[in-house]
Structure 1
C-alpha cells in the first residue's frame, strides 16, 4: 500500500475540455481526487453510487446538487449523497479536492 503521494508522481488525465483529474490517494473504502478546471469548464451533471465530499481549494464554481445551484468560492465545500445528480461550472480557473467513499474504481 502506498502511504504518500508526491506532486511529481501525480498523473493528470483530461476528462473533458478544460477539466482534468488526478487520483491522489486511495484505498478500497476511500479515494482522494483533485479536479483542475479552466475558466468556463464544465463538470457535467452526473450521478454515481458513491458519497462525495468536495472542497474548493482554488477558484469559484456554480455547483448544482439535486437541482439546486449555489455559488461557492475558495474555502467552501459541499457533500453529495449517493445517486444524486450534481455538476459544476468553473467561473474562473479552479481546483476541487474530492473525497469518494467507497473508492471510484472507474478512475483507476
Structure 2
C-alpha cells in the first residue's frame, strides 16, 4: 500500500492545465477524499459538468459566479458551496481567483495525469 501523506505545503503537488483552460494541483488524497486547488484568471470558466463525487468548494481568493443545477450565486473569498453527487455545475471567475475543492471519493480521473 502506498504511504498516505497527511500534510501539504504550498509547494505540494504539480500545477497542470485543465481541459477548460485553467490550472489545478492535487494537494492531498486518500481513497475516500481528495483535495485539489484550482486557479483561474479573470473570466476563466470551469465548464458545466457533473460527476458521481460529492464536492465541497472553498473560495480561497477571488469572486466566482457559481451554477449548481441551474441555480446561480456569486461566491466571494471566504465563501463556500457544496455540489451533491450527479448535479450539473460550473463556475466563472469574475476576477482572478482560487478554489480549494474536496471530493469524496477521490477523483481517480485526476490521478491519471498527476
**TM-score, reference length from structure 2:** 0.90
**Any idea what SS the aligned residue of 1:29 has?**
coil
Q: Please give the per-residue CA displacement for 1:31-88, whole angstroms capped at 9, x wherever unaligned.
A: 0000000000000000000000000000000000000110110011000000000000
Task: State how far apart, in whole Å, the 1-side matches of 2:33 and 2:97 are.
Answer: 23
Q: 1:10 offset after TM fit, Å?
A: 2.0
Is 2:76 the counterpart of 1:69?
A: no
Q: Secondary structure at the match of 2:11?
A: helix
Unaligned runs of 5+ in 2: none
Structure number with higher strand proportion:
1
Alignment of 1:20-59 (within 5 A): 20-59=23-62
Partner of 1:79: 82
Runs of 4+ displaced beyond 6 Å: none
Gaps of 5+ in 1: none
Deviation at 1:6, TM superposition (A): 2.5
